[in-house]
Amino acid sequence: MSPDSGAISRDEVAHLARLARLAVTDAELDVFAGQLDVILGAVARVGEVAADDIPPTSHAVPLQNVFRPDVRRPGLSQEQALAGAPAAEEGRFRVPRILGEEQ
């Protein structure tokens, strides 16, 4: 299968990999493009089954307006919050140098 024959191109996979901050080799791009094509094809079959009278659904349960009152609840202590962190300093999570621009 040629890389560009399906619904998802090699370039699109490269773009997605960049957004997900994944280092993907050229060989992998071809592999993933093919695999993602298969997945998209499978999902697209839903569109064939659902007729026009079935609106797109984001939630499986027919609920709306689920709120909580503006009341404080106990959370974690600083020690608990940082317990699972690979590195911490001055009560804060320590993360590697942030590459790229400020958000």
Partner 1 sequence: MTTTAPALVDYDDVVARYEPTLGLEVHVELSTSTKMFCGCPTDFGAEPNTQVCPTCLGLPGSLPVVNQAAVEAAIRIGLALNCSIAPWGRFARKNYFYPDMPKNFQTSQYDEPIAVDGWMDVTLEDGEVVRVGIERAHMEEDTGKSLHVGGAAGRIHGAEYSLLDYNRAGVPLIEIVTKMIPGTGERAPEVARAYVTQLRDLIKSLGVSDVRMDQGSMRCDVNLSLSPTGSGVLGTRTETKNVNSLRSVERAVRHEMQRQAGVLDGGGAIVQETRHFEEQSGTTRPGRRKETSEDYRYFPEPDLVPIAPSAEWVEELRGTLPELPWEHRKRIQEAWGLSDEELRDLVNAGALELIEATVAAGAPAGEARSWWVAYLAQQANTRGVELAELPITPAQVARVIALVGAGDLNNKLARQVVDGVLAGEGEPDEVVESRGLKVVSDDGALIAAVDEALAAQPDVVEKIKGGKVQAAGAIVGAVMKATKGQADAKRVRELIIERCS
Residues 31-60 that bind partner 1 (CB under 8 A): 58-59
Single residue of 2, 21, 25, 48 touching partner 1 by CB under 8 A: 21
Q: Coil, helix or strand for 51?
A: coil
Q: If binding is defined by CB under 8 A, does position 5 make contact with partner 1? A: no
Gyration radius from the chain CA atoms: 22
Applying CB under 8 A, the site for partner 1 has a residue count of 39
Q: If binding is defined by CB under 8 A, does position 66 make contact with partner 1? A: yes
Single residue of 20, 23, 27, 42 touching partner 1 by CB under 8 A: 20
Separation of alpha carbons 85 and 75, rounded Å = 17
Single residue of 19, 43, 49, 51 touching partner 1 by CB under 8 A: 19
Separation of alpha carbons 100 and 103, rounded Å = 9
Q: If binding is defined by CB under 8 A, does position 7 make contact with partner 1? A: no
Closest CA to 23 of 13, 37, 33: 13
> Which one-letter amino acid corresponds to residue 92?
R
Kind and range of the H or E run holding 89: strand 88-89
Instruction: List contacts with partner 1 (CB under 8 A).
Output: 19-21, 58-59, 61, 63-78, 81-82, 84, 89-98, 100-103
